[in-house]
């Protein structure tokens, strides 16, 4: 089973700043099968990025995904107040899915 590691655990930033979140996988993952989600308290996760770099429907272009192999990155170019949340990466391999432990982006 592929294990996902996310860093940092918590990212403290101010609105307007750039956020860079990392997701590492224990084995190489096809870029087609890496996704990122945003989750706010009391809400279901929302898909942001799939296929490592494709934005889901309705996702603002300040969110971007990149990476390949075992290293993937979610970048939020300029944080808006509504972007403070927990972010999860997720991979699909051999018909099974696994999630990372999450990165919390909070207000500095």
Binding site for another protein (CB under 8 A): 1, 32-33, 35, 37, 39, 43-47, 50, 56-57, 88, 90, 92, 95-102
We find the least distance from the C-beta atom of residue 49 to another protein, in angstroms, to be 9
Paired strand residues for 33 = none
We find the least distance from the C-beta atom of residue 63 to another protein, in angstroms, to be 15
- Closest to another protein by CB, 77 vs 101, is 101
We find the least distance from the C-beta atom of residue 100 to another protein, in angstroms, to be 7
Q: How many residues comprise the chain?
A: 108
- Cβ proximity of 73 and 67 under 8 Å: yes
Buried b (16+ CB within 10 A) or exposed e, 12-35: ebeeeeebebbbbbeeebebebbb
């Amino acid at each position: 089973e592929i294990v996902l590691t996310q860093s940092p655990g918590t990212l403290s930033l101010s609105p307007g700043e750039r956020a860079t979140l990392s997701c590492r996988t224990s084995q190489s993952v096809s870029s087609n099968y890496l996704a990122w989600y945003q989750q706010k308290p009391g809400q279901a996760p929302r898909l942001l990025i799939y296929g490592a770099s494709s934005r889901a429907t309705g996702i603002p272009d300040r969110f971007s995904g990149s990476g390949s192999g075992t290293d993937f990155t979610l970048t939020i170019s300029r944080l808006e107040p509504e972007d403070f949340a927990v972010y999860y990466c997720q991979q699909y391999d051999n018909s099974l899915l696994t999630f990372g432990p999450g990165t919390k982006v909070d207000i500095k």
